[in-house]
Amino acid sequence: MAIAIGCASQSTDTATDTTTDAAPDTASAPASDSGVVNLYSSRHYDTDNTLYTGFTEETGIQVNLIEGEADELLERIKSEGANSPADVFITVDAGRLWLAEQDGLLQPVNSDVLTAAIPENLRHPDGLWFGLTTRARVIIYNKDTVNPSELSTYEDLAEPQWQGRVCIRSSGNVYNLSLVGSMVETMGEEATQDWVEGLVGNLARDPEGGDTDQIKAVASGQCDVAIANHYYWARLAKSEDAADQAVAEQVGIFFPNQDDRGTHVNISGAGVVATAPNRDNAIAFIEYLAGPEAQEIFAAGNNEYPVLEGVNVDPIVAELGNFKIDVVNVASYGRNNPKVVEIVDRAGWK
């Protein structure tokens, strides 16, 4: 049975408070309540610390970091209420940003800097949150059993020729909920229902594990194709473990729907918390993350794509080449979540 976006987290990690080491230069800080910005982030990459230090050096504003899983941080903000110190919330997947939006935890921001830097389809229509990186949900295929000429679209994976050949993780995973949500937006509910039922009928095994497990299942021959985010392959390709490298070498990456709407992408994004005590600093921080230097570092931290045009992409990711993306607004993913849950439940997608 599917689980609504955000409710599937199994993490038991506790939030961690961290303050960056850079000393604030209060003389150069913009006018605000104080010379700090309090960041609640579900990202856990060491490279992000470089960004926080750089922001402090550039603005004099100190970054106070609280890390945790997305659902945990949202609950913390809610429990803290009007007294929450949170200024900025950063998480992965538009579906989780939708959760924050639904709970009234974010406030609208009107920023010419962000509007100019971030494509319209990668930000909330009312400025409640902004995409900062993108990740592509691609088709992984076994090089020995599949010729890429056989591949075309997500929809094609529901066709009879793929019966018993497909792997994918649980429908309750937020990445899959968002993928199906985008299809509801572009194809309609009935056509999406047909696709999900066909996909479930073509599964080589019951859904289990994460995206990396799907890639390994393809490499080992348990299935011929799988759907996964591109950066999981990049992690394997960059691993120092020879076994991981062998998995990455055994599989190929295919960007689906290049002849029509384009490949589904999702985001890592940020929003200003509704009760932010340091609103100006919060906006300045998100604007900083949308700048060229920060974009390169922020995207490289998880082998993702920058949202700002002209920014260098990680070399391993760049090897995958350019591709056409689906420009449906990512805000639709969460909005369609209630319909998606009904669709996958009816189809029996575990």
SS3 254: strand
Question: 115 falls in which pLDDT band (50, 70, 90)?
Answer: very high
- Residue 288, both tokens: 């900083």
- The length of the chain in residues reads 350
Q: Which amino acid is at 271?
A: G
| Cα 247 to Cα 162: distance, rounded to the nearest angstrom | 22
User: Beta strands 88-92 and 130-142: pairing type?
Assistant: unpaired
Distance of CA 83 to the CA centre of its chain: 29
**Helices 230-238 and 242-250 meet at what angle, rounded to 10?**
130
Q: What is the mean pLDDT of the segment spanning 137-150?
A: 98
Q: What is the pLDDT of residues 264-281, one digit of tens each?
A: 999 999 999 999 999 999
Mean pLDDT value across residues 324-345 = 97
The dihedrals phi and psi of 228, each to the nearest 5 degrees, come to: -155, 160
The average pLDDT across 77-104 equals: 96
Give the pLDDT confidence of 207-245 residue by residue, as tens digits: 999 999 999 999 999 999 999 999 999 999 999 999 999
- Which three-class secondary structure state does DSSP give residue 274? coil
Domains of the chain: 16-134+267-323 (3.40.190.10), 135-263+334-347 (3.40.190.10)
5-60 pLDDT, tens per residue? 333 333 333 344 444 433 333 233 333 458 999 999 999 888 899 999 999 999 99
Query: Which among 44, 38, 40 has a CA at the least distance from the CA of 61?
Result: 38
- In order of 9, 40, 120, 302, the CA distances from 109 in angstroms are 29, 18, 14, 26
Percent pLDDT > 90 in the chain is 89
